[in-house]
Structure 1
Amino acid sequence: MKLLFCIEADWEGSAKKQSSILPMLQCISGIYPSKIKYIFRTANTTAEFKYCLKKFKQISKTNDDFCGLFICGHGKPGVIHLGDDSLSIEQLAEISTEIGEKLYSGHLIHFDSCSIIKGTKSQIKKFIKLTGASCVTGFEDEVDFIESLALEMIFIDCLSDNNNASDAVEKFLKEHKSICNRTKFKVIDMSHSLPSP
């Protein structure tokens, strides 16, 4: 993986609370400064999210490598929340194709959101077909914030060791079955070649 691009919505309604994936990104990048490169953006409206995707388009050109796009925020089956706005997987695909044809071609999309991929396999396969994503990962149920961050640190490390998204995910699933099962971490791709944890 050449780059991790993270778009995060607010996790808390209160301005005093500051839950974020950013400290985890800073930690893993600090441990492996030459290996883990990331860009972090926030988006709490659909307009802000579109702006972030335009930035992703600028840096996502591949040379035998892929980017990981992490979309972070509260979710429910088939929907991610961006502050007071919400986007369904279908709307996300529509926005993505407006910004660029096959915007995610060869890239990995990870939803850091509770339950977003629960019962949405057909919608996500359509999303993959429309956007060109290599695969989509996420959580099938409610997940503890700290547990999800622990999984994602290991996941990012695994992704950074590979220039093929599917190979990296397959290795991760094989080597980390226990935490994948515990957090209900799932992978959806078009080929059915990736094993279940």
Structure 2
Amino acid sequence: MKLVFCVESDWEGSARKQSSILPMLECINGVYPDLKYIFRTANTKEELKYCLGKFKQVNSADKDFCVFIFSGHGTPGKIRFGKKGISLSELGLIVQEVDDELFKKHVVHFDSCSVSKNSAEVQDFLRQTRADLVTGFSSEVDFIESLAFEMIYLDYLRDDKPKNVEKRLQRLQKDHKGFCDRLKFEIASQRD
């Protein structure tokens, strides 16, 4: 993996609070300068579609697999962009509008509470978007703890080839079992 592409929605709804995944991305890039990231924000469907279009530009230029992170508040089967929640099914349709193979050979990670709780919805999203893998949490997670976990997550994937990704994530689950169990970290693949 050479790239992390992250689209983050507003966590707080307040101009004074600045929770963000960006410092974690900067930190891991500081440790591993070869691991590049692109960070965008989106709080409306239009902004989300724009960001997905930017990923399409990057995707067509680089054939290496990427981790695409959706970061923001979530509930089972939904992620919030601005004030509105978008279901995984609706998100899949937005992705298809941009390119029906946009996530093919890539990993999609939901940095959001509970989005991965309903495995049927996650499997539908996988089929809709053709992502190789979808990862996320099926419970409420602490913001700082999830960021710490995602640094480890990206470390496990940074040197691998697409064919080894699922094995590396299973290794992550084994090596950090307590952490994964507490966060209810889930992996869904096309092979499930």
- TM-score band (shorter)? over 0.9
> Is the deviation greater in 52-61 or in 158-167?
158-167
Aligned to 1:41: 40
Segments of 4+ in structure 1 off by > 3 A? none
1:1-197 equivalences in 2 (<5 Å): 1-34=1-34, 36-61=35-60, 63=63, 65-118=64-117, 120-164=118-162, 165-192=165-192
Percentage of identical aligned residues: 51
Between the aligned partners of 1:58 and 1:90, the Cα distance in structure 2 is: 23
Between the aligned partners of 2:158 and 2:151, the Cα distance in structure 1 is: 11
Scaled by the length of structure 1, the TM-score of the pair is: 0.92
Between the aligned partners of 1:20 and 1:110, the Cα distance in structure 2 is: 16
Between the aligned partners of 1:30 and 1:175, the Cα distance in structure 2 is: 24
Between the aligned partners of 1:18 and 1:114, the Cα distance in structure 2 is: 18
Between the aligned partners of 1:99 and 1:147, the Cα distance in structure 2 is: 33
Secondary structure of 1:60's aligned partner: helix
Between the aligned partners of 2:171 and 2:159, the Cα distance in structure 1 is: 10
RMSD: 1.2
Q: Give the direction of change, closer, same or farther, for the CA distance of 1:167–1:66 in structure 2 (3 Å limit).
A: farther
Secondary structure of 1:187's aligned partner: strand
What displacement does 1:85 show? 2.3
> Is the deviation greater in 103-112 or in 176-185?
176-185
What displacement does 1:166 show? 1.9
Between the aligned partners of 2:179 and 2:119, the Cα distance in structure 1 is: 21
Secondary structure of 1:27's aligned partner: helix
Between the aligned partners of 1:103 and 1:32, the Cα distance in structure 2 is: 26
Scaled by the length of structure 2, the TM-score of the pair is: 0.94
Could you tell me whether the CA contact under 8 Å between 1:161 and 1:168 is conserved in 2? Answer: no
What displacement does 1:167 show? 3.0
Secondary structure of 2:79's aligned partner: strand
Between the aligned partners of 2:9 and 2:47, the Cα distance in structure 1 is: 10
Aligned to 1:195: none
Query: Quick one: which amino acid aligns to residue 100 of structure 1?
Result: D
Query: Quick one: which amino acid aligns to residue 134 of structure 2?
Result: V
Could you tell me whether the CA contact under 8 Å between 1:102 and 1:130 is conserved in 2? Answer: no
Between the aligned partners of 1:167 and 1:5, the Cα distance in structure 2 is: 22
- Higher-helix-fraction structure: 2
Secondary structure of 2:30's aligned partner: helix
Q: Which runs of 5+ in 1 are unaligned?
A: 193-197
